[in-house]
Amino acid sequence: MRQTTASTCCYCGVGCGLLIEHDGQRILDVAGDPNHPANFGKLCSKGSTLHLTGDLDARALYPELRLGKGLARARTDWDSALGHAANVFAETIAEHGPDSVAFYISGQLLTEDYYAFNKLARALVGTNNIDSNSRLCMSSAVVGYKRSLGADAPPCSYEDIEQSDCVLIVGSNMAYAHPVLFRRLEEAKAIRPDMKIIVVDPRRTDTCELADLHLAILPGTDVALFHGILHILLETGRIDQDFIDAHTEGLDELKQLARDYNPATTAKLCGISIDELQTCAHLIGNAPRFLSLWCMGVNQSTAGSAKNSALINLHLATGQIGKPGGGPFSLTGQPNAMGGRETGSLSNLLPGHREAGNTQHRAEVAAYWGVEQLPTTPGLSAIELFEAVRSGKVKALWIACTNPAQSMPDQQKIHEALAACPFVVVQEAFFTTETCRYADLLLPAASWGEKEGTVTNSERRVSHVRRAIPAPGEARADWSITCDFARRLERHLRPGQSSLFAFKSPAALFDEYKLLTRDRDLDLSGLSHALIDQIGPQQWPFPAGSHTGTARLYGNGVFPTESGRARFLAEQYQPPKEQHDAGFPLILNTGRLRDHWHGMSRTGTAARLFGYVEEALLSLNADDMRRRNLLDDQLVKIRSRRGELVLPVSSDDSLRPGQAFIPMHWGDRFLKGLGVNLLSLPAFDPLSKQPELKHTGIEVEKAELPWQFFALIEGSVQKHFEALRPQFDGFAYASFSLTGRDRPALVIRAACHEAPSAKQLAGLEQLLGLDEGPVLAYDDPRRGVGKRVRIEDGRIVALSLSGETAARHWLKQLWQDGKADQTLRRWLLAPLSTPPGSEVRAAKILCNCMNVSQDAICAGIERGLDLDGLKRELGCGTSCGSCVPEIKRLLVKQPAVA
């Protein structure tokens, strides 16, 4: 019998409400929850396909243990697994002290999971060595809010998007990273065309299509830009002096600094025109309601904290905070990064927005937990933590729900650290992540739709996540695993004492945690799982006795600082750590794609999410390609100070000369060579400890790899993936992706200097199912060329092209179309980029939600359809809407026939 369970999405921090349709055992479909105030029923392409992800062939189903680094893991039971882990941690702590162990957790955990991990690390183990992948995401925003406003509390609500008169978007391709919020902005702009939108981004992204002004600043110059805008606001008197006098401090020092950022100086530093700068300042200064939105382009920087505070300075100077339509609003990158910040899941924090370095805060939490004291030694942040693992200081590492072997910068060192660590525990839903290969103990965790707890979204709204189906195999909820391990470790570290972890449910964890927030800025003491079910998701603060949440903060002009005033911060612009030079003349930026998320452990199991972008590409400005004699789709070698990576290159007019772009999602699983973050540097902000993932010096040259390979095989995609991926470790280039919708297939592209051995190729053909049966074959051993096409029931089901791959695009399209008629079969093995006399050509899927190709949209435009007509006739742009900006560009390039 079909049932519906209300829950939330597990991707970005918007916190969209979902309705999960299921039969009690399997998730059958999802829909946006029309009653959830974060999204009112809307979903992005990722959220709307959640029911298609999480292939069981990729899931960790049973505990697995190995007793030596050179051994393979073997299945074990939970009692043996957690008992062994407790013994190893206890022995390590006894011999080397509590700081010889560490925990690295995730912005995708639920709040109750976070709380259990924090109590385990600090109250039981006695270490502050617990950090989260939110360190890579939001820690600079945390520091910015705390320094400027006194607390890590975004003051705004999503409804401010509709109510603002001027929206400044900085360092965020909102159209891709937060598409549901971007749709709200699009609709608000359509209703009120006078609303002004400014986008600050070195690239011209899809978000810029909505902008009245795009400032394509030079990468990393945000602080100079914000100071330059402030200079103009001060000079022209467009500030709120009454607000400044009554509610702020520190402006005099900032005024002195801002004098140096006159329009000419600022424009030169930022690489924009004086007119653009002045227009921006004019729009901000004249707006009755001014809202700023920002994300990773601001945070992932060695000056991320300074960027956050310099942006908040503009709101304090104009009095644009604490009122509808105005305020500084950071967009969270993970579904519960906010919950992690609240519970203290960064090494320098404690639950309830407390500081680990604050004596009084430590005493408050220790007393509440009933322990003598909390650790005083500062904990290690993510970069520092993995360096300590690599150097041998940390000897036992517990990783939960995150993939540092893909996401951390300077990947070579991260892999070295994980390989050298004496004992690595990985608590994970997907055994396929790059980090899992280093697990001495793999613990299968429940995933989306299989667990219960709470999450907090970007607007401080707490939602109750409900379980729809049981976890597969022996997978367990994260809080349950953590508490079970903690109780076992207590026998070693607290023998004979009552347990600190006698929790029977996630609701019990929440009820204990929420009292640590009482009378704090984020007071959650009035909330419970049952109350959220009754009255719906609520924004904190929500103290005991409340009937509704708090939409906006600081409306009374009182801030949680010692003086009660907000602080202006005066910090000079500091350029990024790596500047371009003769050896590395290009600056590499990384970012998100529309249909993928993070390291693709989940989205990488859904073939249709590869329909828009199938593989990792290096994007360059056409001028930079001409200087290097490069052509589209050529393989190039990308070199940074830390390593080399091979990728296809593509011309991209959204980039200025001297800049490059690669999507962030590809790690060593999908791209041979340790992935994109092999290139990035581990330098980090001195205050937030957030690494500079978006600014890397590189050089690019053509990769001389004459022998190329292409293969496609449908069915049992994850099993094929696991069998075939190791076969390409010796190749200079190898890329893996999925394709198709109703018939998913694995696609492999590879290249090397010379042809592999006949034995290796024969092994590949066997794994591809091309060694026997109804297979068309051609071989030219002298040239290292071999081709195979398997046809069953009149259509292609697998193929490989070795040594010569000209036909790969149209052969793949034949597979996609499900046909291979007799007239074409004679040409299937020919070295032709297009089949003779045929209209077969690759069709790029532009609208993933409705499966509408770019060709179909262009044909509709030729027939005279405008955007509304395309939506009515083809359905494109009517679901998540992420394809709309590109459709608009096609309408401009290809005007409709009158």
Residues 6 or more apart whose CB falls under 8 angstroms from that of 135 comprise 346, 381, 382, 383, 688, 689, 690
Q: Where are the beta strands (DSSP E) in 380-484?
A: 396-400, 423-428, 441-444, 453-456, 461-465
Query: What mean pLDDT comes out for the span 589-600?
Result: 95
Q: How many residues does the chain have?
A: 898
pLDDT at residue 839, as a whole number: 66
Residue entry with tokens 């070698």: 637
Q: What is the pLDDT of residues 489-522, one digit of tens each?
A: 999 999 999 999 999 999 999 999 999 999 999 9
pLDDT of amino acid 782: 87
Q: Which of 264-278, 388-402, 596-610, 811-825 has the lowest mean pLDDT?
A: 811-825
pLDDT at 897 > cutoff 60: no
pLDDT recorded at residue 838:
65
pLDDT for position 109: 98
Question: What's the pLDDT score for residue 823?
Answer: 80
Collapse the DSSP code of 430 into the 3-class scheme (helix H, G, I; strand E, B; otherwise coil) and give the result. Answer: strand
User: ∠ CA(261), CA(266), CA(272), 5° rounding?
Assistant: 165
Give CA–CA dist 460/458, Å, rounded. 6
Query: Is the Cβ–Cβ distance between 540 and 525 less than 8 Å?
Result: no
In 3D space, the residue among 635, 806, 627 whose CA is nearest the CA of residue 705 turns out to be: 635
pLDDT of residue 601: 96
Please write down the long-range contacts of 547-552, taking CB distance under 8 Å and 24 or more positions apart. 549/460, 549/461, 550/460, 551/157, 551/159, 552/155, 552/156, 552/157, 552/160, 552/322, 552/323, 552/324, 552/327
Angstrom distance (rounded) from CA 818 to CA 823? 15
Mean pLDDT of the chain: 96
Tell whether the torsion through CA atoms of 110, 90, 432 and 178 is positive or negative: positive
Model pLDDT for residues 432-486, shown as the tens digit of each residue: 999 999 999 999 999 999 999 999 999 999 999 999 999 999 999 999 999 999 9
Prior bond to 541 cis, omega within 30? yes
Question: CA angle at residue 606 from 602 to 611, to 5 degrees?
Answer: 125
pLDDT over 90 (residue 379): yes
Which whole-number Å values give the CA distances from 136 to 300, 346, 348, 408, in the listed order? 7, 11, 14, 8
At which residue do the structure tokens 């390291």 appear? 599
State pLDDT tens for residues 266-309: 999 999 999 999 999 999 999 999 999 999 999 999 999 999 99
Half-sphere exposure of 717 (CA within 13 A, CB side): 26
Residue 699 structure tokens:
């050089």
What pLDDT does residue 840 have?
Answer: 66
- Give, in order, the Cα–Cα distances in Å from 789 to each of 737, 744, 747, 820, 825: 19, 17, 14, 10, 10
Separation of alpha carbons 284 and 295, rounded Å: 19
> What average pLDDT score do residues 726-754 get?
96
So what's the pLDDT on residue 898? 34
Range 702-725 average pLDDT: 97
Instruction: Please report, rounded to a whole number, the percentage of residues in the chain having pLDDT higher than 90.
Output: 93
147 closest CA partner among 296, 311, 289, 284: 311
How many helices, marked H, and strands, marked E, lie in the chain? Answer: 29, 36
DSSP classification of residue 9: -
DSSP for 247-315 reads HEE-HHHHHHHHTT--HHHHHHHHTS-HHHHHHHHHHHHH-SSEEEEE-HHHHSSTTHHHHHHHHHHHH
DSSP three-state, residue 638 = strand
Q: State what percent of residues in the chain have pLDDT above 70.
A: 99
Residue 561 burial (CB < 10 Å; 0-12/13-18/19+)?
middle
Please give the pLDDT value at position 895: 64
Strand partners, 464: 454
Which three-class secondary structure state does DSSP give residue 727? Answer: helix
User: Three-class SS of residue 596?
Assistant: coil
